[in-house]
């Protein structure tokens, strides 16, 4: 609190004072945008000769960010409701495989709906078990991660399942409307739907209240059980849709799609200003957080870092993000 | 229902809520045993007792948070079940719980309208639950103004308000909805002198409006100040029920500590 770097403004406002806290919170909202600008700027300078800012590369970053962003929007609801969904990566994989098989067997609509249905079902199971059996969602979704991953591995004997459906590929990933990639369009759709749901719908407000203080929300008559189940369904359904986007872009379904995305998604959401402990969430922040994670990934590769070093760098950033979230918690 | 309109109160002195034979056990602990209480319109009833006497348990039973193991509740002479907090609210009972007063991360207007949000956007908007932010902010401002509750900014998160302001918002929520029965669990605990005075003013206003008020407190001055009658609990049982004008502060303390009993 009283580090020498804290500077003059700190000393004018005593640490912990109401106004100081207010100012910290205002800053907190913009940390993610500031971080985005800083990292973009840093890579633009460091990698100026490696084509970081080329439109092809920026498009590439956008394509990588899209599924993460969609998952992050869903995860925002889980975390805001003071739950967590560790099963998202496995849902992505199963959804991509179901999409591949059903699109091939029964066409575009059936395949898409079946894939999204995977998310709905997984979310319902997560939510019902954690709420009705009173097991923390952390444990339930950890178990589901194993179950769903196993089912996905069994589905096509660890082989990728090719999707030969032009419409599916065009709508979810490979195609574009004019110069705008369909992935970008879907990301914006997720952003707008998620933002409106959290900030402008009664349900979103009840998610915030439930996550902040479940007992108080209960005492006011909010049906917190249903809110929590809904938050976990939202998270898993968004993950399933991310699976559809990945399947569309790569034109395959595969058991390991999304497998390594869990920490990236949580980092994106937390960097975006959502509290890891519930009660505070930002959908826009989560999407920008996803862009940051994709940009880091891309920049670290262009810098020539080995996979191992990329993992270290990403891990450090996740710890920093969580540290920020904890700090915010203590101030409340 | 409207936040600003007042369908408050009935004829003063008429029983609003009558609870009889209320019992509640938590595993082996009998928190409440055969307690009866009567709240009247335009009267403030103090609920007194030491820590663990069962005061909060009784309030939670009346507020639909807990289900009593035994007992009957009538409102306006009609027997009612209160299975949920929602049911309590729709019967005209509003509660300010000791520790559950406001949601820290929501702003003042959001807190005031929590689970009673105004919606807009026609049938589709209503179906989706589209919030009418503008109307809620405007009515929040009006309601707080009417109650003379001063909050620096309605957009500020409740967690950033002072203890007195938070409590005022919680009480404002109870009052704003024109409820006829208001249960207050230690509304002035942890408040400063001036803030406490403001809360007491709010309670007097409720009384004047004909609202039936139940007030849990540890402060005997407050009982003498604003309450008409007092019910004393001790170890889950009712040990005294008195008209406040008939007793002294010392009598009340004696009832609470078990040094005397009125029945």
**B160/A213 touch (CB, cutoff 8 Å), yes or no:** no
Q: Assess whether pLDDT exceeds 60 at residue B88.
A: yes
- For residues A113 and A314, the answer to whether their CB atoms sit within 8 Å is no
Which among B103, B133, B162 has the least Cβ separation from residue A216?
Answer: B103
**Reported ipTM exceeds the 0.85 cut:** no
Say if residue B71's pLDDT is above 60: yes
pLDDT (0 to 100) of residue B195: 76
Least confident piece of the model among B4-13, B156-165, B179-188 = B4-13
**What single DSSP character describes residue B157?**
B
Q: What is the pLDDT of residues B25-49, one digit of tens each?
A: 998 889 999 999 999 999 999 999 9
The residue among B224 and A322 whose pLDDT is bigger is B224
- Spell out where B81-148 has E strands: 93-96
Contact A22 B160 (CB under 8 A): yes
Residue in A201, A222, A332 nearest the CB of B104: A332
Give the percent of chain B with pLDDT over 70. 94
pLDDT (0 to 100) of residue A68:
97
The closest of A313, A172, A141 to A249, measured between CA atoms, is: A172
Whether B244 has a pLDDT exceeding 90, the answer reads no
Contact B103 A200 (CB under 8 A): no
Give the pLDDT score at A11.
37
Q: What is the CA A305 to chain-centroid distance, rounded? A: 24
In the prediction, which pLDDT does B9 show? 53
For the stretch B121-175, pLDDT in tens is: 899 999 999 999 999 999 999 888 877 777 888 888 898 888 778 888 888 887 7
Residue in chain B lying closest to A202 (CA): B129
Per-residue pLDDT of A20-69, as tens digits, reads 555 555 566 677 888 889 889 999 999 988 889 998 899 999 999 999 99
**Which residues of chain B make contact with A213, given a CB cutoff of 8 A?**
100, 103-104
In angstroms, rounded to a whole number, what is the distance separating the alpha carbons of residues B6 and B3? 8
In residues, how long is chain B? Answer: 263
CA–CA distance, B178 with B116 (Å, rounded to integer): 13
If you count residue pairs, one on A and one on B, with CB atoms under 8 Å apart, how many are there?
A: 78
Q: Do A25 and B157 touch (CB under 8 A)?
A: yes
Mark the ranges of chain A whose per-residue pLDDT is less than 70. 1-29, 318, 321-322, 324-332
Confidence label for B233 from pLDDT (cuts 50, 70 and 90): very high
In this prediction, residues B79-88 reach a mean pLDDT of: 92
Q: What is the DSSP letter of B156?
A: S
Length of chain A: 332
Q: Closest partner residue to B119 among A202, A215, A219, by Cβ?
A: A202
A248-278 confidence digits (pLDDT tens): 999 999 999 999 899 899 989 998 989 888 9
pLDDT of residue A2: 39
How far apart are alpha carbons A89 and A258 in whole angstroms? 5
| Rounded alpha-carbon distances, angstroms, from residue A263 to A26, A58, A85, A97, A310 | 26, 23, 11, 22, 13
Q: How far is A118 from chain B (nearest CA, A)?
A: 24
Q: To which residue do tokens 């807009």 refer? A: B120
Instruction: Please tell me the least confidently modeled range out of A125-129, A318-322, B91-95, B197-201.
Output: A318-322
- Tokens for A260, please give them: 């390594």
In DSSP terms, B23 is beta-bridged to B70
Spatial contact of A235 and A82, defined as CB atoms under 8 Å apart: no
What's the confidence (pLDDT) of residue B3? 41
- Angle, to 10 degrees, between the axis of helix A108-132 and the axis of helix A137-155? 150
Structure tokens at B255: 């009832």
Q: Which residues contact A78 (CB under 8 A, 6 or more apart)?
A: A84, A85, A137, A231, A232, A234, A235
Question: Which DSSP string do the residues of A28-48 spell out, in sequence order?
Answer: HHHHHHHHHHHHHHHHHHHTT
Compare CB distances from A215 to B100, B119, B160 and report the shortest one's residue.
B100
Residue of A nearest to B118 (CA): A202
- As given in the structure block, the two tokens for residue A123 are 């979310």
pLDDT, average across residues B235-263: 84
Q: Which of A320, A284, A297, A63 is nearest to A192 (CA)?
A: A284
Closest-CA distance of chain B to residue A278, Å: 10
B153: helix, strand or coil: coil
- What contacts B105, CB < 8 A, 6 or more positions away? A208, A212, A275, A279, A280, A332, B157, B158, B159
Please answer whether residues B124 and B191 qualify as being in contact, where contact means their C-beta atoms are separated by less than 8 angstroms. Answer: no
3-state SS class at B242: strand
> What is the reported pLDDT for B1?
41
Best mutation target among A16, A19, A196, A200 (most B Cβ atoms within 10 Å) is: A200
* Strand, coil or helix: B219: coil
Whether B135 contacts chain A with CB within 8 A: no
Model pTM score = 0.85
> What is the per-residue pLDDT for A144?
97
State whether residue A210 is helix, strand or coil: helix
The upper half-sphere exposure of residue B153, i.e. CA atoms within 13 Å in the direction of its Cβ, equals 9
| A277–chain B nearest CA distance, Å | 12
Q: Which residues of B fall within a CB distance of 8 Å from A230?
A: none
For an interface test with A, the pick among B100, B110, B120, B169 (most A C-beta atoms closer than 10 Å) comes out as B100
> How far is it between the farthest Cα atoms of chain A?
68
CA distances in angstroms from B191 to A119, A212, B167, listed in the order given: 48, 23, 9
**The pLDDT value given to residue A18:** 53
Most A CBs within 10 Å, among B103, B158, B160, B164, to test the A interface: B103
């Amino acid at each position: 609190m009283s580090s020498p770097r804290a500077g003059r403004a700190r000393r004018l406002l005593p640490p912990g004072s109401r106004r100081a806290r207010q100012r910290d919170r205002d800053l907190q909202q913009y940390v993610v945008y500031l971080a985005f600008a800083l990292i973009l700027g840093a890579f633009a300078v460091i990698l100026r000769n490696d084509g970081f800012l080329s439109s092809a590369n920026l498009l590439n970053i956008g394509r990588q960010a899209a599924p993460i962003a969609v998952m992050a929007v869903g995860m925002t609801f889980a975390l805001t409701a003071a739950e967590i969904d560790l099963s998202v990566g496995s849902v992505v994989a199963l959804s991509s495989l179901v999409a591949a098989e059903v699109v091939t067997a029964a066409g575009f609509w059936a395949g898409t709906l079946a894939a999204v249905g995977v998310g709905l079902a997984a979310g319902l199971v997560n939510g019902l078990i954690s709420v009705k059996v009173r097991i923390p969602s952390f444990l339930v979704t950890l178990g589901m991660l194993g179950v769903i991953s196993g089912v996905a591995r069994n589905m096509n004997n660890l082989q990728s399942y090719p999707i030969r459906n032009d419409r599916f590929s065009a709508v979810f990933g490979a195609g574009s409307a004019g110069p705008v990639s369909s992935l970008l369009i879907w990301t914006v759709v997720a952003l707008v739907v998620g933002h409106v749901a959290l900030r402008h719908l009664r349900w979103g407000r009840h998610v915030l209240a439930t996550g902040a203080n479940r007992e108080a929300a209960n005492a006011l008559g909010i049906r917190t059980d249903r809110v929590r189940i809904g938050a976990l369904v939202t998270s898993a359904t968004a993950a399933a849709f991310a699976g559809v986007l990945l399947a569309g872009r790569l034109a395959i379904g595969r058991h390991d799609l999304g497998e390594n995305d869990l920490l990236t998604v949580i980092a994106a959401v937390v960097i975006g200003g959502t509290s890891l402990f519930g009660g505070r969430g930002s959908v826009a922040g989560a999407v920008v957080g996803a862009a940051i994670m994709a940009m880091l990934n891309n920049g670290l590769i262009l810098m020539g870092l080995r996979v191992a070093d990329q993992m270290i760098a990403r891990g450090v950033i996740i710890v920093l993000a969580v540290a920020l979230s904890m700090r915010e918690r203590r101030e409340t | 229902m409207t936040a600003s309109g007042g369908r408050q109160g009935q004829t003063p002195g008429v029983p609003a809520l009558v609870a009889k034979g209320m019992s509640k056990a938590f595993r082996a602990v009998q928190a409440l045993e055969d307690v009866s209480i009567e709240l009247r319109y335009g009267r403030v009833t103090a609920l007194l007792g030491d820590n663990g006497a069962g005061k909060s348990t009784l309030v939670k039973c009346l507020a639909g948070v807990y289900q009593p193991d035994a007992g009957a509740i009538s409102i306006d002479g009609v027997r009612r079940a209160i299975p949920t907090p929602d049911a309590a609210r729709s019967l005209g009972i509003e509660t300010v719980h000791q520790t559950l007063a406001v949601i820290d991360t929501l702003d003042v207007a959001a807190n005031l309208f929590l689970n009673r949000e105004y919606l807009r956007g026609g049938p589709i908007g209503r179906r989706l639950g589209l919030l009418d932010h503008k109307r809620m902010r405007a009515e929040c401002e009006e309601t707080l103004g009417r109650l003379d509750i001063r909050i620096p900014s309605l957009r500020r998160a409740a967690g950033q308000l002072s203890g007195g302001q938070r409590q005022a918002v919680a009480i404002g929520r109870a009052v704003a909805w024109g409820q006829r029965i208001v249960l207050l669990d230690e509304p002035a605990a942890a408040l400063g002198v001036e803030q406490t005075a403001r809360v007491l003013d709010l309670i007097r206003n409720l009384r004047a409006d004909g609202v039936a008020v139940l007030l849990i407190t540890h402060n005997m001055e407050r009982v003498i100040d604003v309450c008409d009658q007092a019910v004393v609990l001790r170890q889950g049982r009712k040990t005294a029920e008195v008209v406040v004008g008939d007793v002294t502060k010392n009598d009340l303390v004696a009832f609470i500590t078990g040094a005397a009993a009125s029945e």
